[in-house]
């Protein structure tokens, strides 16, 4: 927009700064509107006799869809908005004038979450009443300052929150570049430091041609799986691959179920290891795709138990939760139109969803319809209580429509987390 106008460099920097303030002000505006929406919804549901614990169910997902964000972030946006607008006026004002970004305001709200309303107001005033004090503070300083105030105001609440956080310990996996994966363990700090120290000790006492990082990663794998890192141990994974990629003539990536695309050469490596290792097992199943769109339309039956085959088909077709922007792993393969409203048990009416989204679509006012078009592409339409509609389509299979596609179940030792047993 500025290429054709004569603006000097200082003017360009001023404009970049101005637009940053506009982003903060827009975030403040979204927070105000979100809080009003939550207030209206709660009042309407209370008047209709909905118990308090069930009020605003699914609202986080509505906010997420409107903001093109995942439901998990929608929940954060909703909590952020109600806290800012109803309890933290100074933080809201700092966001509005651009002294805080949306993320930094979120950090302050997060650190104050364990406090009661009165203490929260005190923290709000101390942090943000004088916005000049926020100048030059990065994310880490903002978090540390807010933490220190929260601890001074109510040490017990901070300790209680730490105890609650401990119950949220978990393990997650997400794809990393170059056919690698991050496996993260969320642990209480003492245990987390303990795990890291044990791996470092292994690196300190191992002398071979591996780097410290390699020794630590191999040791973690060995202690978790009980198998040396260089020995393949049967773990079942599902992979979708075109025949041409499998036979070496093509470089179309394969899709590893629960992970995403992997390079053709890596996929071929897994298959050749599986067929040359006698403890491994490799079963094939042909998938049929629509001749024009490449959508998955059918698959060869490998199991006589129909619902299991159907669930597998839906998982392969959808790959991740079908709510727009969600991307969470599929936990439920369920009816789009529920069975109690005469929804059929069929591939067309089936939908892969994460746990959270599956409960959301059962909330009052939500309606989900699903079906395949003439091109074989499966589409789901989500209608929210405010009558807004959002669509999602199932991803196409790898490769072009005229290439045959095969699904392989390979049992081979590879360093990714085992998927939920089907
Ligand atoms: Zn979801």
Closest CA to 33 of 61, 58, 57, 66: 66
For residues 365 and 376, the answer to whether their CB atoms sit within 8 Å is no
Structure confidence by residue, pLDDT tens digits, 71-88: 999 999 999 999 999 999
3-state secondary structure of 353: strand
Q: How far apart are CA 259 and CA 18, in angstroms?
A: 40
Kindly report the backbone phi and psi dihedral angles of residue 252, in degrees, each rounded to the nearest multiple of 5, phi listed first. Answer: -65, 130
If you measure from the C-alpha of residue 354 to the centroid of ligand 1, how many angstroms do you get, rounded to a whole number? Answer: 4
If you measure from the C-alpha of residue 167 to the centroid of ligand 1, how many angstroms do you get, rounded to a whole number? Answer: 22
Helices (H) and strands (E) in the chain, counts: 14, 13
Q: How many CA atoms lie within 13 A of 166 on its CB side?
A: 10
Query: Residue 108 contacts by C-beta under 8 Å, 6 or more apart in sequence?
Result: 88, 91, 100, 123, 124, 127, 128, 142, 146
Closest CA to 137 of 99, 88, 97: 99
- Written as one string, the DSSP assignment of 361-399 is TTSTT-EEEEEE-TT--EEEEEE-TT--EEEEEPPPPSS
Q: Which residue has the higher pLDDT, 269 or 307?
A: 269
- Quick one: pLDDT at residue 1? 54
If you measure from the C-alpha of residue 191 to the centroid of ligand 1, how many angstroms do you get, rounded to a whole number? Answer: 30
If you measure from the C-alpha of residue 216 to the centroid of ligand 1, how many angstroms do you get, rounded to a whole number? Answer: 34
pLDDT at 398 over 60: yes
Q: What angle do CA 22, 28, 32 make, to 5 degrees?
A: 140
The mean per-residue pLDDT over the stretch 96-122 comes to 95
pLDDT at 236 over 70: no
- Fill in the DSSP letter of residue 50: -
If you measure from the C-alpha of residue 218 to the centroid of ligand 1, how many angstroms do you get, rounded to a whole number? Answer: 33
- Quick one: pLDDT at residue 281? 59
Closest CA to 111 of 143, 154, 75: 143
3-state secondary structure of 405: strand
The mean per-residue pLDDT over the stretch 256-260 comes to 76
If you measure from the C-alpha of residue 207 to the centroid of ligand 1, how many angstroms do you get, rounded to a whole number? Answer: 46
Q: What is the mean pLDDT of the chain?
A: 84
A 10 A CB-CB count for 45 gives 20
Structure confidence by residue, pLDDT tens digits, 135-193: 999 999 999 999 999 999 999 988 888 888 888 899 988 778 877 889 999 998 889 98
Q: How confident is the model at residue 92 (pLDDT cuts 50, 70, 90)?
A: very high
If you measure from the C-alpha of residue 363 to the centroid of ligand 1, how many angstroms do you get, rounded to a whole number? Answer: 14
Kindly report the backbone phi and psi dihedral angles of residue 314, in degrees, each rounded to the nearest multiple of 5, phi listed first. Answer: -65, -40
Percent of the chain at pLDDT > 90 equals: 49
If you measure from the C-alpha of residue 43 to the centroid of ligand 1, how many angstroms do you get, rounded to a whole number? Answer: 27
If you measure from the C-alpha of residue 79 to the centroid of ligand 1, how many angstroms do you get, rounded to a whole number? Answer: 19
- Quick one: pLDDT at residue 195? 93
For residues 253 and 263, the answer to whether their CB atoms sit within 8 Å is yes
Q: How confident is the model at residue 300 (pLDDT cuts 50, 70, 90)?
A: low
Query: Residue 110 contacts by C-beta under 8 Å, 6 or more apart in sequence?
Result: none
Q: How far apart are CA 260 and CA 266, in angstroms?
A: 13
């Amino acid at each position: 927009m500025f290429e054709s106008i004569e603006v000097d460099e200082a003017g360009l920097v001023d404009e970049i700064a101005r637009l940053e303030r506009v982003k903060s002000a827009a975030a403040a505006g979204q927070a105000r509107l979100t809080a009003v929406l939550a207030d209206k919804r709660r009042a309407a549901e209370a008047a209709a006799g909905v118990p308090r614990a069930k009020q605003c169910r699914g609202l986080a997902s509505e906010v997420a869809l409107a903001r093109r964000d995942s439901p998990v972030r929608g929940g954060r946006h909703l909590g952020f908005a109600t806290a800012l607008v109803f309890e933290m006026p100074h933080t809201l004002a700092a966001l509005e004038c651009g002294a805080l970004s949306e993320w930094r305001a979120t950090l302050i709200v997060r650190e104050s979450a364990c406090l009661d309303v009165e203490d929260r107001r005190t923290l709000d005033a101390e942090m943000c009443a004088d916005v000049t004090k926020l100048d030059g503070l990065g994310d880490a300083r903002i978090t540390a300052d807010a933490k220190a105030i929260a601890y001074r105001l109510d040490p017990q609440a901070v300790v209680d929150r730490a105890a609650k956080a401990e119950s949220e310990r978990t393990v997650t996996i997400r794809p990393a570049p170059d056919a690698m994966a991050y496996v993260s363990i969320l642990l209480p700090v003492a245990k987390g430091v303990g795990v890291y120290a044990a791996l470092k000790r292994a690196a300190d006492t191992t002398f071979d041609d591996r780097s410290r990082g390699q020794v630590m990663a191999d040791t973690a794998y060995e202690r978790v799986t009980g198998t040396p890192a260089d020995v393949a141990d049967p773990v079942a994974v599902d992979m979708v691959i075109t025949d041409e990629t499998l036979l070496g003539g093509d470089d179309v990536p394969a899709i590893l179920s629960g992970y995403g695309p992997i390079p053709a050469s890596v996929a071929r490596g897994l298959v050749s290891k599986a067929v040359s290792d006698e403890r491994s097992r490799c079963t094939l199943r042909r998938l049929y795709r629509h001749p024009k769109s490449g959508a998955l339309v059918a698959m060869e039956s490998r199991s006589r138990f129909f619902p299991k085959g159907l669930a597998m088909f839906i998982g392969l077709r959808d790959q991740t939760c079908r709510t727009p922007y969600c991307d969470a792993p599929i936990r439920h393969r369920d009816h789009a139109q529920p069975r109690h409203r005469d929804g059929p048990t069929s591939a067309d009416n089936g939908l892969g969803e994460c746990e959270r989204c599956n409960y959301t679509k059962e909330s009052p006012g939500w309606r989900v319809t699903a079906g395949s078009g003439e091109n074989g592409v499966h589409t789901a339409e989500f209608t929210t209580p405010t009558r807004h509609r959002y669509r999602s389509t199932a991803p196409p299979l790898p490769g072009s429509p005229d290439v045959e596609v095969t699904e392989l179940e390979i049992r081979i030792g590879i360093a990714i987390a085992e998927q939920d047993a089907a």
